[in-house]
Amino acid sequence: MIDEIVFAFTNNKSLYIGEGLTISEHMIQTAMLAEKNKCSSDLICSSLLHDYGHFVVKDPNQLVTNQIDGNHEIIGANYLKSFFSNKIIEPILLHVDAKKYLAREKKYFNSLSEASKVSLKLQGGIMSDNEAKQFEKNKNYKNAIKLRRFDEGAKKQNIKIKDIKDYKELLISKII
Ligand SMILES: [Fe+2]
């Protein structure tokens, strides 16, 4: 499994939908932000793998152009859950809901990139108060929110980033 993850990160050159960097670069930047913010090793691992569903989906570039939501968070979480604990999987599963939750804040909504605003619509739009209350019942919802904020900040181009191999040991230590 670890070899498969390293292979996917190294060889999948798909661009992160609507942004100017690859999905691999985006996920590594997300993990780097989790590290910078001194998050737990579980949350660093969630951050690193949060969009892995896009690697499982055949052609992620098609999703937004075809105006369909790929449910990549569910695909990714389902795919990874036999290998990693629920503490790691849940923030991955909830990172889209976390965006719908946070979008209730004007400041957060305005900070979203254009592509992210488009996908927000496809993902069901901003949460109602009731949906937000339900969301807060999830055990790991706070970690999902943290992941989401790193996610938004992880779209920089031309910055020096780590290599997936730098995370190999962490990944190995988290395999169940
Ligand atoms: Fe992401």
> How far does the centroid of ligand 1 lie from the alpha carbon of residue 27, in Å?
6
Share of the chain above pLDDT 90, in %: 79
Rg (CA), the chain: 15
> How far does the centroid of ligand 1 lie from the alpha carbon of residue 84, in Å?
19
Residue 14 pLDDT: 86
Q: Give 74-80 contacts, CB < 8 A, sequence gap 24+.
A: 76/49, 76/50, 76/51, 76/52, 77/53, 79/52, 79/53, 80/49, 80/52
Question: Positive or negative, the Cα torsion across 103, 105, 108, 111?
Answer: positive
> How far does the centroid of ligand 1 lie from the alpha carbon of residue 104, in Å?
19
Instruction: State which amino acid sits at residue 126.
Output: I
Q: What's the pLDDT band for 50 if we cut at 50, 70, 90?
A: very high
Residue 69 pLDDT: 57
Tell me how crowded residue 38 is: count the other CB atoms within 10 A of its CB. Answer: 8
> How far does the centroid of ligand 1 lie from the alpha carbon of residue 51, in Å?
5
Mean pLDDT, range 11-21, rounded to an integer = 84
d(Cα 52, Cα 71) in Å, to the nearest integer? 11
> How far does the centroid of ligand 1 lie from the alpha carbon of residue 19, in Å?
11
Mean pLDDT, range 114-138, rounded to an integer = 94
Q: What's the pLDDT band for 175 if we cut at 50, 70, 90?
A: very high
Q: Give the model confidence (pLDDT) of 73-111 as tens digits.
A: 999 999 999 999 999 999 999 999 999 999 999 999 999
> How far does the centroid of ligand 1 lie from the alpha carbon of residue 96, in Å?
9
> How far does the centroid of ligand 1 lie from the alpha carbon of residue 90, in Å?
15
> How far does the centroid of ligand 1 lie from the alpha carbon of residue 147, in Å?
9
| H helical segments located in 37-123 | 41-49, 53-56, 60-65, 72-80, 86-102, 106-111, 114-122
Q: Which two tokens stand for residue 69?
A: 């939501």
Q: Give the model confidence (pLDDT) of 62-72 as tens digits.
A: 554 444 556 88
Residue 113 pLDDT: 86
